[in-house]
Amino acid sequence: MKGILLSLCTAALFVLPPTIEAQQPDFLGSLKTVEDLFTSDTISQLQESTHNGEEGFNRFFTSEGRAIHLPSVDVSTKLIQEAYSIDYAVGVESLYLIPWKDISTKLTGLPHQEFLQEVYNILRRVSTLEGIEYYSASRERMRTLFAECWAINNPEDKKKIADPRVHTIPPEDTVYIHQKDLTFGKNISRVNYQSSGDYFRMNIVNLTTMTYMFFPIVGKENMSMQIVIVPSKEGILFYGLNTVDVMDLKIFHNKMRDSFTNRMVALYNWFLSQLQRA
């Protein structure tokens, strides 16, 4: 009985009205539902957030905590391995649902494989990260996250190159990027990409020490910002997980919670804007 009620609640929450049916892609029948991809607790929390007029939710945790809202897809296995390879002090996981009606019809009107290629290439348009904003809790205003962002040929030469778009989706790939973070300064990062069927994962790892006011805050390879993109019958799901080895003092927990949560929100807003402009 509980399973039947959950199915009915999920259907009531996520079914799109007939007036926007034409904006759904033709390949919906091959995709899983939200209920197939998450636990009942996660679905309930996503349902609660949408009822409150929000697009999703964020959860902050410390070193004693673990990610609990992962989608049931292959790429989540590698995500957890890489997230937990860091002796993290804090973590943030985020889950958002982007309904098909909110996505460019140029994108949703594509055949299945072309659609996947375009979504995958959105993740590789690293130059579009330049100028994205986040809410700075300490300054109580919106602030630019990355003043500079572009792909480079390798971490040694650091030669600027064009966004590394592809015509065929590889199972795994690596790209290096230069970023100027207005909080942590200039850094070089490694971006790992993974694909499996309809699902994609992107992992940004710092290759240089991140400093704040000349003080080293995050050591080399001690921050992992990962996102998983999951097309479903109800829309495209954005799952994010950020794990960071940073000074673990309770007095700073609120600041760290706000700072790293708002960074994940900024990444979500970036991806959403790219889907709408495609």
Question: In the prediction, which pLDDT does 250 show?
Answer: 58
Radius of gyration over every alpha carbon of the chain, rounded to an integer in angstroms = 19
Q: Range of 230's domain?
A: 20-277
Question: In the prediction, which pLDDT does 247 show?
Answer: 67
Residues 117-144 have a mean pLDDT of 89
Using an 8 Å Cβ cutoff, are 237 and 230 in contact?
yes
63 within some domain? yes
Average pLDDT of the residues of the chain:
88
Q: Report residue 17's pLDDT band, with 50, 70 and 90 as the boundaries.
A: very low
Question: In the prediction, which pLDDT does 255 show?
Answer: 66
Residues 121-135 have a mean pLDDT of 94
**Of 83, 10, 37, whose CA–CA distance to 229 is shortest?**
37
Residues 67-79 have a mean pLDDT of 97
Beta bridge partners of 181: 146, 185
126 three-class SS: helix
CATH number, domain with residue 210? 3.30.530.20
Does 253 score more than 90 pLDDT?
no
Question: In the prediction, which pLDDT does 20 show?
Answer: 41
Q: Report residue 252's pLDDT band, with 50, 70 and 90 as the boundaries.
A: low
Does 56 score more than 50 pLDDT?
yes
In percent, the amount of the chain with pLDDT more than 70 equals 88
In whole angstroms, what is the distance from residue 83 CA to residue 91 CA? 9
Q: Report residue 74's pLDDT band, with 50, 70 and 90 as the boundaries.
A: very high
Question: In the prediction, which pLDDT does 181 show?
Answer: 85
pLDDT single digits (tens) 212-225: 777 788 889 999 99
Enumerate residues 6+ apart whose C-beta is below 8 A from 44: none
Of the two residues 154 and 253, the one the predictor is more confident about is 154
Number of folded domains in the chain?
A: 1
217 within some domain? yes
Angle at 66 between CA 61 and CA 70, to 5 degrees: 110
75 within some domain? yes
pLDDT single digits (tens) 165-185: 999 999 999 999 999 988 788
Q: Report residue 145's pLDDT band, with 50, 70 and 90 as the boundaries.
A: confident
Question: In the prediction, which pLDDT does 210 show?
Answer: 85
13 within some domain? no
Using an 8 Å Cβ cutoff, are 256 and 246 in contact?
yes
1 within some domain? no
**Of 27, 20, 12, whose CA–CA distance to 102 is shortest?**
20
8 within some domain? no
Does 149 score more than 60 pLDDT?
yes
138 within some domain? yes
DSSP 55-110: SEEEEEEETT-------SSTHHHHHHHHHHTS--SEEEEEEEEEEGGGS-HHHHTS
Question: In the prediction, which pLDDT does 22 show?
Answer: 46
4 within some domain? no
Q: Report residue 207's pLDDT band, with 50, 70 and 90 as the boundaries.
A: very high
In whole angstroms, what is the distance from residue 243 CA to residue 256 CA? 11
Does 160 score more than 80 pLDDT?
yes
